[in-house]
Amino acid sequence: MMASFGHGTRRHPRTRGRTWSRWGSPRPSEFEVGGGPDRATLGMIGAICAVAGFFVLGIVLGPVAMVCGWLAMGRSWAGSRSAPALVALVLGAIDTLLAVIWLAGAGGMGTGML
């Protein structure tokens, strides 16, 4: 029923719009923290963005690859690192550097043409 005109939801907390699952996820609770993609997925996404950044939109995909790689590494250099995460971080940095150099070179070419 609707919760208006004195008909509160105190007596019937599971009325329409207020129902939650009685059971949790079948996954263990250690995986539930934070939500979002896991580290392996972030590493693969970062590696794909890094490789694609060499061909198109390196100025955008490079930093995206770096962020995904860094998050996939657990935001630290210590401990074990997965290969896709490290590849994403390094190639993302190279993508970004090459894109900045390319933009700086393209901006300076037209200055002495008049």
Element (H, E) at 85: helix 83-108
Cβ contacts of residue 37 below 8 Å, gap of 6+? 45
pLDDT at 25 over 60: no
pLDDT of residue 55: 93
Alpha carbons within 13 A on the beta-carbon side of 107: 6
* pLDDT tens per residue across span 67-83: 999 999 988 888 777 88
* pLDDT tens per residue across span 35-44: 678 888 999 9
- What is the average per-residue pLDDT within 102-114? 70
Q: The pTM is what?
A: 0.62
pLDDT at 26 over 60: no
Q: How far is the C-alpha of 66 from the C-alpha of 77, rounded, in Å? A: 14
Does residue 1 contact residue 45 with C-beta atoms inside 8 Å?
no
- What is the average per-residue pLDDT within 73-95? 88
Q: How far is the C-alpha of 92 from the C-alpha of 51, rounded, in Å? A: 8
